[in-house]
Structure 1
Amino acid sequence: MPVTRRNFLKGALALAGSGMGGALSVPALMTLLPPPVVRCNSDEAYDTLLFKEREPGTWYEPLAGKVARKEDFVLNQAAMVTWAPKELEQELGTCEIVLTLIKLPAEEAMIQWGISDDGGNAVMMAYHTYKCPHLCCKPVFMKEGLSSLSGGTYENMFLCPCHLSRFDPLSIVETTDELGRKVMVAELVEGPAPYGLPIVPIIERDGELIGRTDKLEWLKYCGQG
């Protein structure tokens, strides 16, 4: 009989019920279950960045499901996009993730990671807002706000709504994650996050914006990878 999660649990419960389980309780046995197996459909994989569907009231709602292009954006405009390259299953254990794509004023540190636009005055950048490095909440892009931690005002930054970590998308820096790996991130401005918000390098192919998969190790945190 194949060892599946269901058969494993049935056998473990039978063992506990017969008195042979020793000190193992049912909750303890549950922790021994193998992790769920992800099975992505390779035919549904895509490396393009697609405007996220079911986002009512957003400026990009009419573009839902379409491939993002730099001409879709104006300066300091953000959109949530989905990304599902086939490498995600092996590297991160998931089939699809959500990123935030923004057109920002160009800074030198951004050029090798994003797509230049507007004669070099702007750059398209993608950020891993799927999970905050702190406790895995989902940061959001804020056009402006008032910090509950410092009391200061801010513009065009990422804010984690759970514990108020704030990240500057204009300041791309190299840092070290909790496992000692070098990661390129939007710099942490304030809050309890251990480091900044990782970026996803992008390229342009025939006018379409594409996520690069050569830096997926930057996204291996909060149970991914």
Structure 2
Amino acid sequence: MDITRRGFLKGAIGLAGAGMTGALTVPALKSLLPPPVTRCNKDEAHSTLTYKKEDGKWYENKANDIAKTEDFENLWDVAIVNWAPAELEEELGSCEIQLALAKVPMESGMEELGISVDGGNAVMMAYHTYKCPHLCCKPVFTDEGKSTISGKNFENMFLCPCHLSMFDPISIIENIDEQGRKVMAAELLEGPAPYGLPVVPIAEKDGGLVGLTTHLDWLKYCGQG
């Protein structure tokens, strides 16, 4: 049988591969692999809700402080807070996101997602204003205005500045997202968003407010997760 150059090289490579396999143990093979890429600093992870630095807001002097229920003296006080639990990186691919923390009138069912205050007449709630379910802009709390879609006046709504989807913070309903998952969200009143603005369940711990990671699947849209 003639030995061609191609056959010789194929045989030589096969023998070399067999030799390498025998010589390298599993731990040694693993040592040749690049280490996993870690984007987030685990030492900076926190489940607490801390105030974002924002000049001109009622909480401007509380930047990076942990939010507390007593900070919110008035109904419809709203603050943007940072949230960075360790689970965010694996579940959503983010190190930190921002939420809107608000003191709103209590409605049925909200106590399961927020913290009852003022003798049960109000509740602290957190809303995922980091990304609108439509095209990922950041909805903002607007105390009053006139809809350019319906022409109606409104009060105390989350409004997306890009395409004007409007969400009602005190009407929390079950939605179905584009992946068929059940999501608890502030009801979509108008605009092109496919469903409402998701909420993030919160709790009180050691006197401060923390976000719960029990429903991170509600936030898996716009490239997150």
Determine if the TM-score, normalized by the shorter chain, exceeds 0.5: yes
Q: Is the 8 A contact 1:38 1:94 kept in 2?
A: no
- Superposed CA offset, 1:80-120 (max 9, x none): 00000000000000100000000001111211000000011
- After superposition, residues 98-177 of structure 1 pair within 5 angstroms as 98-177=98-177
Residue 207 of structure 1: how far off its partner (Å) = 1.6
Q: Which runs of 4+ in 1 moved over 3 A?
A: none
Segments of structure 2 that go 5 or more residues without pairing to the other structure are: 1-36
Which AA in structure 2 matches 1:129?
A: T
User: Secondary structure of the residue that 1:111 maps to in structure 2?
Assistant: helix
- CA-atom RMSD in angstroms: 0.7
User: Secondary structure of the residue that 1:67 maps to in structure 2?
Assistant: coil
The residue aligned with 1:65 is 64
Aligned equivalents of 1:85, 1:44: Cα separation in 2: 9
- Superposed CA offset, 1:26-52 (max 9, x none): xxxxxxxxxxx5511111100000000
- After superposition, residues 10-21 of structure 1 pair within 5 angstroms as none
The residue aligned with 1:96 is 96
Aligned equivalents of 2:68, 2:124: Cα separation in 1: 9
Identity value in percent: 68
Aligned equivalents of 1:60, 1:191: Cα separation in 2: 30
User: Secondary structure of the residue that 1:129 maps to in structure 2?
Assistant: coil
Give the length in aligned residue pairs: 188
Aligned equivalents of 1:64, 1:142: Cα separation in 2: 22
Task: Please identify the structure whose Cα radius of gyration is greater.
Answer: 2
User: Secondary structure of the residue that 1:218 maps to in structure 2?
Assistant: helix
Q: Is the 8 A contact 1:38 1:93 kept in 2?
A: no
User: Secondary structure of the residue that 1:90 maps to in structure 2?
Assistant: helix
User: Secondary structure of the residue that 1:50 maps to in structure 2?
Assistant: strand
Q: Is the 8 A contact 1:109 1:173 kept in 2?
A: no
Q: Is the 8 A contact 1:128 1:199 kept in 2?
A: yes
Which AA in structure 2 matches 1:170?
A: I
Segments of structure 1 that go 5 or more residues without pairing to the other structure are: 1-36
Aligned equivalents of 1:138, 1:38: Cα separation in 2: 26
Which AA in structure 2 matches 1:98?
A: Q
Aligned equivalents of 1:100, 1:207: Cα separation in 2: 19
Aligned equivalents of 1:38, 1:150: Cα separation in 2: 47
Which AA in structure 2 matches 1:75?
A: L
- Normalised by the length of structure 1, the TM-score is 0.82
